[in-house]
Amino acid sequence: MVTVLPATAADQRLSTLISKVAAQEQRYRNLEFHRHWSYQLKLPEPLLKQRKDTNLFRSLQRDSRHVYQDGRFTIQEQISGVSLTGVKSSHKIRIGYDGQQTRLMEDGVVRFEQGKDLNWPLRKPHVFLLDRLAEEPSLAELLISPTARGYFLSVKYEAEEIVNGLNCHRIRIETWVKGQKRHDYSRLWLAPERNWIPIREEGYALGYSETIPLQISEVTDWHQLADGIWFPHKIREVIHDEQSAANGKTVVSNQSETTLTEISFSPNYDLKYFQDTKIPAEHKLQQDESE
């Protein structure tokens, strides 16, 4: 249960917003979906030659299937890409958590760890826009947390605005590390007409620019699963080049799109499904050394 003690009118609105987000998030406690993610490098060739960074990918694709059920989860993912130098690569990943132990199979190595492995992204689609901050699936918990992924965190209610024809509540999430005087921040727009799901996010790093966002993410299409029940269908993210922003120029570095399909709020799998790693005989095994 999320509890916020309001002190001002803005705090009261933020408190109400978080309560509504928390209520809506109960719907996503159990969830199954397929995700297709595609990435394209957009940085102009002259800038690429100046940077001399051969570790970049020209394109990437991910196809993944996610199941969250009664505190357990499993993710199966296939990734393929083409590097800046034209080298193609691909690999498969499967991770499962049965409530007690995490099983991860990646690049020919199978690893077992006690407890839940939080090094793996467990975000659900309604927080994909907050990819940099959201570690666990709960947006409501993030909005009242004093820290996230090594950052200090502060959340403020700003205003109501119309975005893409929808009435939205805009909040500001500031992040900083110890000793950092100027706080980076994200602006997040949540839409009551879309079950309080964030529909747009802009991320600013003041060390580069106060006016040019380095990240813009938005939901561009929706599933209406039932009357009054909405869920993201397509999400687009645009990343601007940091060095260009520092020089006052808006230059797209890369762009990605997520498409979500096969959505269910009632997955029904037995315990074995979350324990099955289908380990080939030639694969190595790694056991958590803390056991």
pLDDT digits (tens, 9 = 90+) for 37-49: 999 999 999 999 8
CB 91 within 8 A of CB 79: yes
**Domains of the chain: which residue ranges?**
20-287
Listed as ranges, residues in the chain with pLDDT below 50 are 1-6, 279-291
Question: 185-188 — which CB contacts under 8 Å span 24+ positions?
Answer: 186/130, 186/132, 186/133, 186/215, 187/158, 188/129, 188/130
Q: Which fold has domain 20-287?
A: outer membrane lipoprotein receptor (LolB), chain A (2.50.20)
Neighbour tally for 235: CB within 10 Å: 23
Q: Name, in order, each residue with C-beta under 8 angstroms of 13's C-beta and a sequence gap of 6 or more.
A: 157, 169
Task: Output the pLDDT for position 6.
Answer: 44
Task: Output the pLDDT for position 10.
Answer: 82
Residue length, the chain?
291
Residue (of 214, 210, 208) closest to 254 by Cα position: 214
For 33-53, b/e burial (b = at least 16 CB within 10 A) is bebebebebebeeeeeeeeee
pLDDT digits (tens, 9 = 90+) for 269-288: 999 999 876 644 443 434 44
Q: Name, in order, each residue with C-beta under 8 angstroms of 127's C-beta and a sequence gap of 6 or more.
A: 134, 137, 139, 142, 198
